[in-house]
A and B are shown apart, each in its own frame.
Chain A
Amino acid sequence: MAPAPRKAMSEPGLWWLCLPAAAVFVVFFVIPVASLFGLSFNKSVAGVISYSNELTFDNFVRIFTRATYYEAILRSIWIAAVVSVTSLAFGYPLAYLIAKTTHPGRNTLLMILVLSSMQLDMVIRLFGLMVLFGDNGLINGFLLYLGLISRPLPLMYNTFGVIVGLVQITLPFMVLSLIGIIKAIHPSLEEAARSLGASRLQAFFSIVLPLSMPGILAGALLVFALSISSYVVPALMGGWKVIVLPIHIYQQIAEVGRWQFGAAIAVVLFVTSVIAVAIYHQAAARTSGGRT
């Protein structure tokens, strides 16, 4: 770098700092993802993976006209929507509790618990869930032991199991999206409502809940995007009986060898989650309202 005067550490001379990361991202992210998009417009030939210039919409036509595929799209969207709502119902009270916990030690403890459960390998957490929810699992074992049921309840290897798994995995993301916005709501607003005779719950539903709407929307859409793109949860908790888009992608590639068609499903999945994330970003922009 040339010995620039005074402002040497500021704007113009620093662009090179960005180069290594940008180079890695362009070569190994932008180009591969763009190529995958390109491949999805090639004719699907089993076992062949090379690009041709003949573009066709065949793969996409097939996805939207064959019941197995478009039903998988609808199933994916439906499951992700149910997970968003469930995750919100469980996540909001926890986020509220963390936001209102002023004791620094307790607050850090709660944050560590939430973050650890977010960062821990999903496969390990699913192991725990499978031991709990299986036919011979702890929950069924406990209920049988008490004599409350005579046959194991079907808690896993079905849609219910997939939803349970996804809620477990997305809950920390929901909680983290909500804490900030709940904290930003001034307590005096709630107090004012209470002093006017509202009960704690009334004050909550008429003041706090409406004001936290942007965070709720943001969290729900983040959870939606995470749920719709999950492969490991439907594979393990659904036992390959709940066929969603990521399962189709894996089957097309690993079992049938139809790269182009697998790529097309990946594109559909990607576009669906990009739409969710785009809405999420707009919601987030409104949430911060100039704070960032």
Chain B
Amino acid sequence: MHEESNVPSVFKAIAFLSLAILLVPMAVVVLAGLNSGDYLTFPPQGLSLRWIKAFLTSPTFLSAYGVSFVVALGATLVSTLFGTMAAVFLSRSSSGSVPVLRGFFMLPIVLPGVVLGLALYVFFVSSGVGLARTMPGLLIGHILVTCPFVIATVTASLVGFDRSLEEAARSLGAGPVTAFRLVTLKIIAPAISAGSIFAFIVSFGQFELTLFLTAPDLQTLPSAMYTSMRYKFEPTAAAAGIFAIALVVISMVVTSRLVNLKKIFER
């Protein structure tokens, strides 16, 4: 703790203010979802489960939650498989194309979501493949933005991987695939889980990309919330938000047990 006391108090004050900026809006969503009035005002009116109930019986929000869940699950499965395969290649190959490829796979998260969504929509419409505003089309968009997270997470864990472990297995008679499955895969399994959790959350919270990819009967949770906020501003959206916040916080706690968070996010 002696190091922490080295932080100037002005810094501590601003740091706590920053934490407040990050966390207060989340707390407000929870309060708004549990508030008994129509709109969270000061002073608050008291607690009730009215909006939670409204959420659990709302056809719009429930089906949106379902769509988001299905899309996130599908995108996570595909991204985890394709992303892990690509990460193994990227960390093992000594080819000169590796740095280029690595940058290439990160592009979808660099491109503005609105632009990527628009590009996909225009592509789906003009090529006549019939994917515009359909579930598979939505899924494809989500795979593009979740795959980079799996690739980054798994590559990070493979960088420090000791190849001699795998070679030991091979020298004991295991085939390349068996050695990979029994040794490497076991060791990078936590990173794969972490990557797939990231993929799931990123997909679940994706809004700007889906702007042109959803349809009135195919709304994801963020797009249903957005519509409700622009036209009605009902606390049902906040109640839906409570479930999403719980999902994210639990996933982050689980991820922090699986991998060293800093290794992935610190540059």
Contacts and interface: CB of A to CB of B under 8 A. Distances in A.
Given A14-B93, A127-B241, A93 B119 contact: no
B111 A94 contact: no
A114 interface: yes
A270 B83 contact: no
Contacts of A108: 256, 261
Contacts of B122: 32, 35-36, 39, 49, 259, 263
A22 B107 CA distance: 12
Contacts of B39: 131, 136
B112 to A, nearest CB: 3
Contacts of A274: 110
Interface stretch (A56-64, A66-74, A164-172): A164-172
Contacts of B233: 130
Contact of A50 (B94, B126, B205): B126
Given A116-B249, A121-B205, A266-B118, A231 B211 contact: yes
Nearest to B40: A131
A232 B14 CA distance: 27
Contacts of A142: 42
A104 to B, nearest CB: 11
Q: Is the interface of A mostly helix, strand, loop or mixed?
A: helix
A123 B4 contact: no
A122 B206 CA distance: 8
A260 to B, nearest CB: 10
B186 interface: no
A236 to B, nearest CB: 6
B208 A231 contact: yes
B41 A138 contact: yes
B21 A266 contact: no
B222 interface: yes
B178 to A, nearest CB: 11
B244 A128 contact: no
B261 A111 contact: yes
A98 to B, nearest CB: 8
B207 interface: yes
A120 B245 CA distance: 7
B6 A100 contact: yes
Contacts of A91: 18
A129 B111 CA distance: 26
A52 to B, nearest CB: 11
B207 A121 contact: yes
B256 A25 contact: no
A93 B118 CA distance: 38
Given A97-B12, A108-B256, A125 B3 contact: no
Nearest to A95: B15
Contacts of A284: 267
A230 interface: yes
Nearest to A120: B248
Contact of A115 (B19, B81, B143, B265): B265
Given A15-B93, A102-B3, A117-B22, A35 B241 contact: no
Given A11-B93, A179-B266, A250 B230 contact: no
A46 interface: no
- The listed residue with most A CB atoms (<10 A of its CB), out of B90, B179, B266, is B266
Contacts of A29: 107-108, 116, 144
Interface of A: 6, 8-11, 14-15, 17-18, 20-22, 24-25, 28-29, 31-33, 35-36, 39, 49-51, 89-91, 93-94, 96-97, 100-103, 108, 111-117, 119-132, 136, 138, 141-142, 145, 167-168, 171-172, 175-177, 179-181, 183, 187, 190, 200-201, 204, 215, 218, 225, 228-232, 235-236, 246, 249-250, 253-254, 259, 262-263, 266, 269-270, 273-274, 277, 284, 287-288
Interface of B: 1, 3-4, 6-8, 10-15, 17-19, 21-29, 32, 39-43, 81-83, 85-86, 88-90, 92-95, 101, 104-105, 107-108, 110-116, 118-120, 122-123, 125-126, 140-141, 143-144, 147, 151, 166, 170, 176, 179-180, 198, 201-202, 204-208, 211-212, 221-222, 225-226, 229-230, 233, 237-238, 241, 244-245, 248-249, 251-253, 256, 261-262, 265-267
